[in-house]
Amino acid sequence: MLISIPDVLSATQARQCRDSLDRAEWIDGNATAGSQSALVKRNMQLAEGSPVAQQMGNALLDVLAATPLFISAALPLKIYPPLFNRYAGGQHFGAHVDNAIRPVRGTSVRVRTDLSATLFLAEPDEYEGGVLVVQDHYGTHEVKMPMGHMVLYPSGSLHHVTPVTRGVRVASFFWVQSLVRQDEDRAALFELDQTIQALSVERGQGDAQVLRLTALYHNLLRRWAET
């Protein structure tokens, strides 16, 4: 299940974040690459201990906690602290699958990577190339979104970023351990939740059918959730 989440950051928030990132110090992106990814990863990244990365990452986590579509789609249990990357001058990221487990640096916390997220921090016309290409059971998806928009996709999907041949592509990326491990189960719950929300607006939350679907949603979540 690949889900687009528009306007995670407002235009003002996204521009403020980008301005801070443009003044920051970037390092080789292989600093956080696994053995497989290191062979195909060619980009720059903010160091995980960078004050700018920590400040921007914490602000993004606060925004995500107040983004209903993200909560509905991801059902987050743990979120890896957001990281930030930069592509320019032909840099790219070849085909790879994200590591299944990500230890959070400096802690004993480990995050199972059920979902990968990319939050775009450059407008599409600022750069050429830099397309996120995700392959899943339903085919190949090409993603290049406006600044402040985000995409969620299963971490087990084969994916890559095409070379940036003009301009600069800047983004935040992170991983989510969901309450619900299986992508198919999360997809079913997401569709059910979106249907409930739409019917609640049309009929009111006290409608008998809305109540029945709400009960079904919570009973399925109770069955599938891991805490």
User: What are the start and end residues of each CATH 2.60.120.620 domain in the chain?
Assistant: 3-178
- Give pLDDT, residue 33: 60
- Give pLDDT, residue 30: 80
- Give pLDDT, residue 95: 95
- Give pLDDT, residue 38: 67
Class of domain 3-178: mainly beta
- Give pLDDT, residue 37: 67
Of the candidates 99, 176, 85, the residue with the CA atom closest to the CA atom of residue 132: 85
Alpha helices in the chain (DSSP H): 11-22, 51-65, 68-74, 183-203, 208-224
Of the candidates 14, 76, 201, the residue with the CA atom closest to the CA atom of residue 6: 14
User: What are the start and end residues of each CATH 4.10.860 domain in the chain?
Assistant: 183-224
User: What global pTM score does this model have?
Assistant: 0.94
Give the integer Cα–Cα distance in Å for 135 and 140.
4
Residue 32 binned pLDDT confidence (cut-offs 50, 70, 90) = low
Q: In CATH, what is the architecture of 183-224?
A: Irregular (4.10)
> What mean pLDDT comes out for the span 89-115?
96
Inform me whether the pLDDT recorded for 36 exceeds 90.
no
- Decide if 111 contacts 78 (C-beta within 8 A): yes
Mean pLDDT value across the chain: 95
DSSP assignment letter at 104: P
Distances (CA, A) of 23 to 10, 17, 18, 26, 87: 20, 10, 9, 9, 15
